[in-house]
């Protein structure tokens, strides 16, 4: 679905934000793009809908070189929710915000209404539809920003730092929505440095540092590799950090969820009791 072929991107200021990035993301995958501030995550995401074009190398979306397509064409395939998307509302009601871009994309009024209904329902914003977007809470604004993108029904959804400024209940909701969108067959890419969030998503992780991809694998593998993470200035998820400190006592260090940790602790303690009893 997405292919980066040795992509380098240099900003006009001379900063090399992507440096030889090659990666493929398949249709229907769920991917967390991780890395410290300045690693290149936002720059990567801006290449997905052609807002930025590679200085060197190629980006392909659904097999097509992004240089040959306009941002408007690419945006039908890849919907991006930017980090500050929730400051950009300008219409009197929530439903009008969602309908606006659909009308611009040329959909019939019947389709616009159907899609607005669906997107607001999916994002659990239906009861607010006649309200001003400015009256929403931070988490609801994020959901509205996502509803606007979802209404276009793009095959790929990318979210830049979706958990920033969200409380734990909002993150929980966001996580469920991301999982559902992915289960419905969409390719979902989130950029984040929130290790706890990714540990719960259990997705593929593409780890970036200084414009390069330094690791690519399952969350269980990458988020338990202390050395790798600290070389990228990222902390391990708390569960993994705890379990890795108990590894000498026979506990499994490669665990990123609380449930798994508890299961392993109980198992090890049972074994211990058993040996003592015998
Ligand atoms: N508009 C810009 N102009 C110049 N440099 C930029 C711009 N945006 C980002 N950068 C630089 O590019 C590098 C990567 O930034 P970015 O992609 O925003 O990283 P991340 O999203 O991982 O924090 C950083 O060194 C950053 O300072
Ligand atoms: Mg960023």
The string of DSSP letters for 121-149 reads HHTT-GGGTTS-GGGS-HHHHHHHHHHHH
User: Residues 220, 199: contact at Cβ < 8 Å?
Assistant: no
Strands 64-65, 212-218: pairing is: unpaired
Ligand 1: centre distance to CA 44 (Å): 10
Residue 8 predicted with pLDDT over 90? yes
The pair of three-digit structure tokens given for residue 60, joined into one six-digit string? 């392909």
* pLDDT for res 127: 94
Our answer on whether the CB atom of 17 is closer than 6 Å to any ligand 1 atom is yes
Structure token pair of residue 166: 């969200």
What are the sequence ranges of the domains in the chain? 1-77+154-228, 94-153, 237-278
Ligand 2 center from residue 34 Cα (angstroms): 10
C-beta of 207 in contact with ligand 1 (< 6 A)? no
pLDDT at site 275: 84
For residue 203, what pLDDT is reported? 96
Phi, psi of 250 (to 5 degrees): 100, 10
The mean pLDDT of the chain is 93
Q: Is 208 helix (H, G, I), strand (E, B) or coil?
A: strand
Tokens 């070189």, residue? Answer: 65
Nearest protein CA to atom 1 of ligand 1, as residue:
11
* Cα 95 to Cα 103: distance, rounded to the nearest angstrom: 12
Q: Which residues surround ligand 2, an ion (CB under 5 A)?
A: 41-42
Whether residue 43 has its Cβ less than 6 Å from ligand 1: yes
Give the tokens for residue 225.
């590799």
Q: What is the dihedral of CA 148, 154, 160, 164, to 10 degrees?
A: 50
Residue 142: CB within 6 Å of ligand 1?
no
Task: Give 49-69 pLDDT, tens digit per residue.
Answer: 999 999 999 999 999 999 999
pLDDT of residue 94: 95
Q: Average pLDDT for residues 181-191, to the nearest whole number?
A: 96
pLDDT digits (tens, 9 = 90+) for 12-62: 999 999 999 999 999 999 999 999 999 999 999 999 999 999 999 999 999
Lookup result for tokens 């009008």: 96
Residue with the two structure tokens 């919907």: 79
50 lines ligand 1 (CB under 6 A): no
Share of the chain above pLDDT 70, in %: 100
Q: How far apart are CA 243 and CA 247, in angstroms?
A: 6
Joined together, the tokens standing for residue 71 give 């941002």
pLDDT at res. 3 = 98
Average pLDDT on 137-148 reads 88
Residue 253's pLDDT is what? 86
Q: Is the CB of 15 under 6 A from ligand 1?
A: yes
Residue 162 in tokens: 């979706």
Tell me the C-alpha to C-alpha distance, in Å, between residue 3 and each of 27, 48, 158, 211: 11, 9, 14, 16
pLDDT at 88: 83
Choice from 32, 42, 161 to test ligand 1 binding pocket (greatest atom count within 8 A of CB) = 42
Count the Cβ atoms, other than its own, within 10 Å of residue 241: 16
User: In the structure, what pLDDT confidence band is assigned to residue 186 with cuts at 50, 70 and 90?
Assistant: very high
Residue 165 pLDDT grade (very low, low, confident, very high; cuts 50, 70, 90): confident
For residue 18, which atom of ligand 1 is closest to its CA? Answer: 14
Q: In what order do the strands lie in the sheet with 64-65?
A: 16-25, 2-10, 56-61, 64-65
State residue 278's pLDDT score.
61
Query: Which strands sit side by side in the sheet containing 30-34, from one edge to the other?
Result: 78-81, 156-160, 187-192, 30-34, 204-209, 212-218
pLDDT of residue 84: 82
144 exposure class (CB count in 10 Å sphere: 0-12, 13-18, 19+) = buried
- Other CB atoms within 10 A of residue 256 CB: 25
Condensed to tens digits (0 to 9), the pLDDT of residues 263-273 reads: 999 999 998 88
Can you give the pLDDT at residue 154?
A: 94
Reported as a single tens digit per residue, the pLDDT across 77-114 is 999 999 887 778 999 999 999 999 899 888 899 999 99
Please compute the mean of the pLDDT values over residues 150-178 and round it to a whole number. Answer: 91
Measuring CA to CA, which residue among 142, 143, 144 is closest to residue 165?
Answer: 142
CATH match for 1-77+154-228 among 3.20.20.70, 3.40.50.300, 3.100.10.20, 3.80.30.20:
3.40.50.300
| 19 close to ligand 1 (CB < 6 Angstrom) | no
Atom 24 of ligand 1, nearest CA residue? 38
Q: Where are the alpha helices (DSSP H) in 34-137?
A: 41-46, 71-75, 94-104, 109-122
């Amino acid at each position: 679905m997405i292919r980066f072929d040795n992509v380098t991107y240099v900003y006009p200021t001379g900063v090399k934000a992507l440096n030889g990035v090659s990666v493929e993301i398949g249709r229907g995958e769920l991917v967390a793009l991780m890395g410290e501030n300045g690693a290149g995550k936002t720059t990567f995401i801006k290449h997905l809908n052609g807002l930025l074009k590679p200085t060197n190398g190629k980006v392909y979306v659904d097999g097509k070189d992004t240089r040959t397509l306009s941002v408007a064409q690419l945006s039908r395939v890849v919907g991006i929710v930017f980090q500050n998307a929730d400051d950009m509302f300008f219409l009197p009601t929530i439903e009008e915000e969602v309908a606006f871009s659909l009308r611009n994309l040329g959909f019939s009024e019947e389709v616009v209404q159907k899609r607005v209904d669906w997107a607001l329902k999916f994002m659990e914003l239906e009861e607010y539809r006649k309200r001003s977007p400015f009256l929403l809470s931070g988490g609801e604004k994020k959901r509205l920003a996502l509803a606007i993108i979802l209404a276009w029904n793009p095959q790929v959804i990318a979210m830049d730092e979706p958990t920033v400024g969200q409380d734990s209940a909002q993150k929980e909701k966001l996580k469920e929505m991301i999982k559902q969108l992915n289960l419905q067959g969409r390719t979902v890419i989130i950029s984040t440095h929130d290790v706890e969030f990714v540990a719960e998503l259990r997705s593929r992780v593409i780890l970036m540092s200084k414009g390069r991809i330094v690791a690519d694998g399952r969350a269980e593998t990458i988020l338990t590799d202390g050395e790798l993470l600290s070389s990228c200035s990222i902390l391990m998820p708390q569960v993994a950090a705890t379990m890795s400190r108990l590894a000498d006592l026979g506990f499994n260090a490669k665990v990123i969820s609380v449930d798994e940790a508890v299961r392993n602790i109980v198992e090890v303690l049972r074994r211990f009791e058993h040996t003592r009893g015998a």
